[in-house]
Amino acid sequence: MIATSKILSDPFERANVTLSAGAIATSFAIASSAFTASLAIGAVLELANFRALRRAKQRLFTGEIQGGWAWSALFGVRFALLGFAMYIALRSGADPIALVLGLSLIVPATLWVAWRSPPPVIPASALLAVPPPDDPSWDAWNPWLASERSAKPFDDDVATAVDVVADREGPA
């Protein structure tokens, strides 16, 4: 278990590999070898795709990937590679139902881990730090932006933005 947890540090990946191994073993016992091989190919493609997705998510949130367009481009490339790999597998004679079944094993694994994971424990001291609803400090908070309100009222910002656009367009 220690070697597996070092290689597969994400609990979603561990549950996925466990579920995939169980599905492949069950398929080996009750289905044809072509079905089992197709299921295994689908599980490997899905594991590689999920791992790449998780790494891209980490790079986006840590700031290694600047902007959502780069993440979207990488998503498109990964999706195209997955489609190409599926095309090659199907042209090579893979069973389509087993391939899709192997590709979809991440869904029950994710649901299982999310259901079994406990929510984070919030210490009582953090709960006491929230002001009551009638506290005047709430007037300084903008719930739509999840930040403190700006010093200027919203109408002035809109008027300034309209003036800037009017200046760019020239006289009417």
Average pLDDT over every residue of 93-119: 89
3-state secondary structure the chain: CHHHHHHCCCHHHHHHHHHHHHHHHHHHHHCCHHHHHHHHHHHHHHHHHHHHHHHHHHHHHHCCCCCHHHHHHHHHHHHHHHHHHHHHHHHCCCCHHHHHHHHCCHHHHHHHHHHHCCCCCCCHHHHHCCCCCCCHHHHHEECCCCEECCCCCHHHHHHHHHHHHHHHHCCC
- Quote the mean pLDDT of the chain: 79
Q: Where is pLDDT greater, at 17 or 70?
A: 17
Task: Express each pLDDT in 149-162 by its tens digit.
Answer: 776 555 544 445 54
Q: Where is pLDDT greater, at 160 or 60?
A: 60
Q: Where is pLDDT greater, at 169 or 149?
A: 149
With 90 as the cut, is the pLDDT of residue 1 above it? Answer: no
- Domain coordinates in residue numbering, the chain: 2-116, 135-169
pLDDT of residue 23: 92
Record the tokens describing residue 167, joined without a space. 């200046």
CA proximity to 13, closest of 41, 49, 42: 49
Task: Express each pLDDT in 119-160 by its tens digit.
Answer: 777 776 666 667 777 888 777 877 776 777 776 555 544 445
Average pLDDT over every residue of 9-28: 89
